[in-house]
């Protein structure tokens, strides 16, 4: 599947009343979905980008203060719990141990548990449940023990 085929699929969605389209070719699968039936815009697909300078500066200051920043290893959707009905895996102020699951980042329908790199206390949670995260973007700030 090349970029021209993807563009054709996007145009097909724009020109019709199709709300969602899934297409598979040569082992590659693509899923396109409109935000709502009244909106003609497609939901943007996140691409790896640099962390905004403002967030990067704030993270750098906190790292200098001795905190450990857990960053997203992939682009995806950030979830604080394993299911919508479950309680968050961690809360602000919780003590965590090295290897403990902190959150889940969904990428291409795969749920990836993000684990703590150190034992310590959660001092900052950078994202709300269900928000998009980029590669290398900070997820949690931990004050190591």
Across 28-53, average pLDDT: 57
**For 86-125, what is each residue's pLDDT tens digit?**
899 999 999 999 999 999 999 888 899 999 999 999 999 9
Question: H-type helices in the chain, by residue range?
Answer: 3-15, 53-64
Residue 95 contacts residue 123 (beta carbons within 8 Å): no
**Hey, where are the domains in the chain?**
1-45, 53-144
44, 65, 53, 62: which is closest to 137 by C-alpha? 53
CATH of 53-144, one of 2.60.120.10, 3.40.50.720, 1.10.3720.10, 2.40.50.100: 2.40.50.100
Distance CA 111, CA 84 (A): 13
């Amino acid at each position: 599947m090349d970029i021209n085929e993807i563009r054709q699929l996007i145009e097909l969605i724009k020109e019709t009343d199709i709300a969602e389209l899934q297409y598979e070719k040569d082992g590659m699968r693509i899923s396109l979905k409109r935000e709502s039936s009244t909106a003609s815009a497609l939901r943007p697909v996140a691409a790896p980008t640099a962390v905004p300078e403002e967030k990067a500066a704030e993270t750098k200051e906190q790292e200098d203060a001795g905190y450990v920043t857990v960053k997203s290893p992939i682009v995806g959707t950030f979830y604080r719990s394993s299911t919508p009905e479950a309680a968050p895996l961690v809360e602000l102020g919780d003590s965590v141990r090295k290897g403990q699951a902190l959150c889940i980042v969904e990428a291409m329908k795969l749920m990836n548990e993000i684990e703590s790199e150190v034992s310590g206390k959660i001092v900052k949670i950078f994202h709300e449940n269900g928000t998009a995260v980029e590669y290398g973007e900070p997820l949690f700030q931990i004050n190591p023990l």
